[in-house]
Amino acid sequence: MLIHRTLLDGALCDLRVEEGRITALSAAPLTPLPGEEVLRGGLVSPPLAEPHVHLDAALLGEQAPNLSGTLREGIANWARLREALTEQDVLDRARRTLAMYRRWGCLRVRTHVDTGSELAVRALLALREEVRAQGVQLQVVAFPQEGILRAPGRREAWERAVELGCDAVGAIPHFERCTEEGWETVRLAFALAEKYDRLVDLHCDETDDPGSRNLEVACVETLKRGWAGRVIAGHCTSLHSQENPYAAKVIELVTHSGVQIVCNPLDNVVLQGRYDSYPKRRGLTRVDQLWAAGASVGFGHDSVMDPWYALGTANLVDAAYMAVHVCQLTSQEQMVRAVRTLWTDNHRCFGGQPSIVEGAATPLLWWEVADEVELLRTRPEPRVVG
């Protein structure tokens, strides 16, 4: 296949793919070979990466509608559904959801799994091996959805999930009983990750409460260990509500520590601000200020028709589209960056983005649009090449 006069990182090129490898990449036009399929124009990118989703709960939203729209009701509804899970059900729904992701060009997925269900943990770990043969890289985070210290047995179940082979250690410090216990769980997560040589991926400060300050603790723990690039803090919505001097301090700490922030625009614009009357807070973290400070920010879809968010298509461009609107990232530069995040910063937890260079292996994506802004506007289905 020859991709003729296409955009790669904003520059025109020709690109030839043969037998799963890029055999030519040229700024000058290439001549089609006999019998070669030719795609003209558009733009090419690496496959997309999903840094934050919950496959164990995907597609269950209709069974437990979230009537209040709050995070707490979503957690309570999920806890009831969790008791009826079967291995086959978890696998079937996760496979269907991954198929949706593949349709939209996403071939790397990091899922959180509730450690309150060892059945779900084992199912998704088995699925990790199954989909590897299909060209999909799946990472699994041991995530204690209802906290670690709130009830007996939860810490042990969480530790067991990590022992079973989860790729990263999660926590939900803002859901613990008090501030000090929240901070303790952050430190426990880092200690457990160190014991088993795992990554860290926290649900961090997913609240409108400006007093929720777990992110700074996560940054300090990262600095102590020199773990830049190994730690993700997801959501971080309290940063939206905190006073500017404190937020500036934390953003500087995030940048200095190398913690990546993953913003989940679709869920958080729905879940946050539920305790407000009017005006209502948007609730998303400060993407623009994090970018300006040099921090790494990813965009996650988070939920696909689950007890927290009844909508969702597994199209990551939808998440970037929502972020552009809610965070007012509407300059040309910001819109382009929001789209490119899906194939740049979103790959950070997987070891970095795949390269599109001569000699590199495929697959890659071809988008039949003029540029990234048009991709954002129309949100088309890409063609997977290779």
At 116 the pLDDT is 97
Q: Residue 235, Cβ neighbours under 10 Å: how many?
A: 30
* 221 and 368 both lie in a single domain: no
At 283 the pLDDT is 92
* 221 and 81 both lie in a single domain: yes
At 349 the pLDDT is 97
What CATH code is carried by the domain that includes residue 319? 3.20.20.140
* 366 and 246 both lie in a single domain: no
* 371 and 343 both lie in a single domain: no
* 335 and 273 both lie in a single domain: yes
83 catalytically annotated: no
* Number of domains within the chain: 2
* 34 and 142 both lie in a single domain: no
Q: Residue 23, Cβ neighbours under 10 Å: how many?
A: 12
Parent domain of 75: 48-350
Positions in the chain whose pLDDT score sits under 50: none
H/E run at residue 249: helix 244-257
At 69 the pLDDT is 92
* 233 and 281 both lie in a single domain: yes
At 154 the pLDDT is 97
Of 206, 252, 333, 368, which one is the catalytic site residue?
A: 206
* 121 and 269 both lie in a single domain: yes
At 97 the pLDDT is 98
At 356 the pLDDT is 97
Tokens of 224: 């102590």
* 304 and 370 both lie in a single domain: no
**292 CB-contact burial (10 Å; exposed 0-12 / middle 13-18 / buried 19+):** exposed
Q: How would you classify the pairing of strands 106-114 and 21-26? A: unpaired
